[in-house]
Structures are given as C-alpha cells and as structure tokens.
Chains A and B, each alone.
Chain A
C-alpha cells in the first residue's frame, strides 16, 4: 500500500463523515451530492486495492494476505450499503448511517496499514 493513497482515502472518508455529521446535526437525510462524494471515496478504495494487488504480485509481501484482503473487501462493501440505506430511509438516520460508514472506512485503513507493515 502506498502512504499518499492511504492518507488520501482517510482524509476523503473523514471529510465525508464530517459532511454527514453536519447533516445529522441539521436533522437532514443524505442527499445525492453526498452519494457522489461517497463514490469518489469508493473509487479511491478501488484504485488502492488495484495498487495493493500489483504491489503484492511484485516484490512486496504481507504476513497474512487473507486478513488484508478481508479488510479490503469489507471496506469496499460499507459505502454501497450506506447508499442503499440513504435511498430507503429519508430521515436524519440515513445521515447517521453514512457517518458511521465513512468512519468505518477510515478505521479499516488503519487496520490495513497495520497488517501491511506487520
């Protein structure tokens, strides 16, 4: 995993979390523009996964690949799920779900970095 890419994902997902948090405070449901934001984060996650795959195919190695790819898969699943909730629940609670999802993505980056370095 490359550090700049990880930092970018963390910053982007935390920005999305802050945006969602603001909407929770304002008692508003998730809006489409936030889902575009979420898809940018998702795209970054896909790029990161591809880069990780290329690096691991090359000289890099990770102590437990199963664990690492498990985290990659989990982080890819979280935001689409929050988007589905955003369509189903048109109250502030969809913003709470998006907030939690974005924080989870950032947290998973931390765990992925730990596994990568181990």
Chain B
C-alpha cells in the first residue's frame, strides 16, 4: 500500500522537477524496516544491559555498542519516515553502519583482544548471523533503488 500523500506529490509535478522517490517503507521496505527494527531492539537491549552492569570492564567496546544501537534506531526511523530529510539520515546511518561493521570486524580479526565478544559488530557481526554486515549493503541499495529521480515528460516518476 502506498502512502496516498506521497503518491499525490508524484502524480502531478511539472516535468524536469526533482520529485519524491517511492516511499522507502513500502513493499520490500517493510522487510528492511522490520529487520532494522529487530536489530535496533537487540543492539539497544545489549548496550543498555552492558552499560548498566559492566561498563568498567571495557568502556570502549560498550560505548561502541551504544553507538551501534543509536545508529540502528536512527536507520529504522529514517527508513520508516522517508522523505527528503529522513532519506539523508538513512544514507548517513547506513554508511556509518557499513564503516563500523567493517572497521570493528577487521580490528577484531587483527587483534582478538581488541573487541572480545563485546559489540554487535565484532567479527563482522558473526554473533548476529552476519546480518549487521549484510544489512547496510541492502539498506544502501534500497535507498538507491527508491531514490528521487528527475521526472521526464510523459514518464511517470
């Protein structure tokens, strides 16, 4: 089901004008938002548990957990909301995730003691079925796929 408001925006626009892309939350977007939501829940739960009970053991790793949680929550909300501004937030948060999971993954490969089983991103997200590794790629692809296009005359955007 498409959002009627957003459909109305694309329905009657002058040719050559930048228009809203398809809603990021519809169709396959529902699945993306759902998976992001589950991961956001998992990361938030994990981070708050770690910070509350054993922050002193590994402050850096647990702060990274918190960062990951914030980024997943942001990505979930941004993909859900869509629109020009939230789309920008979604691009940013998916990119941060990609950099985060790759950086922490490589760091945990290079030095096993750097991030002991402590963050969502350790071992490229192996503790979460590598979903944290795959998800940013899928998210960026989806944002690209639903990007606003320059409308040409006679072609519906």
Interface residues of A (CB under 8 A from B): 64, 66-67, 70, 74, 77-78, 81-82, 85, 88-91, 93-94, 96-97, 100-101, 104
Contact = CB atoms under 8 A, between A and B. Distances in A.
A93 B30 contact: yes
B1 interface: yes
A30 to B, nearest CB: 11
24 contacts: A64-B49, A66-B49, A67-B49, A70-B49, A74-B41, A78-B38, A81-B34, A81-B37, A82-B34, A85-B30, A88-B1, A88-B30, A89-B1, A90-B1, A91-B27, A93-B29, A93-B30, A94-B30, A96-B30, A97-B31, A97-B34, A100-B31, A100-B35, A104-B38
Contact of A74 (B28, B34, B45, B52): B45
B40 to A, nearest CB: 11
A64 B38 CA distance: 21
A105 to B, nearest CB: 11
A interface SS class: helix
B27 to A, nearest CB: 5
Contacts of B52: 66
B4 to A, nearest CB: 13
Contact of A77 (B1, B29, B31, B41): B41
Residue among A64, A85, A89, A104 facing the most chain B CB atoms (10 A cut-off) = A89
Contacts of A64: 49, 53
A104 B38 CA distance: 9
A70 to B, nearest CB: 5
Contacts of A96: 30-31
Contacts of A77: 41
Interface in B30-48: 30-31, 34-35, 37-38, 41-42, 45
Given A82-B34, A90-B1, A91-B27, 12 more contacts: A64-B53, A66-B49, A70-B45, A81-B37, A85-B30, A85-B34, A89-B27, A91-B1, A96-B30, A100-B31, A100-B38, A101-B34
Interface string B49-77: 10011000000000000000000000000
B45 A97 contact: no
A74 B42 contact: yes
A114 B80 CA distance: 33
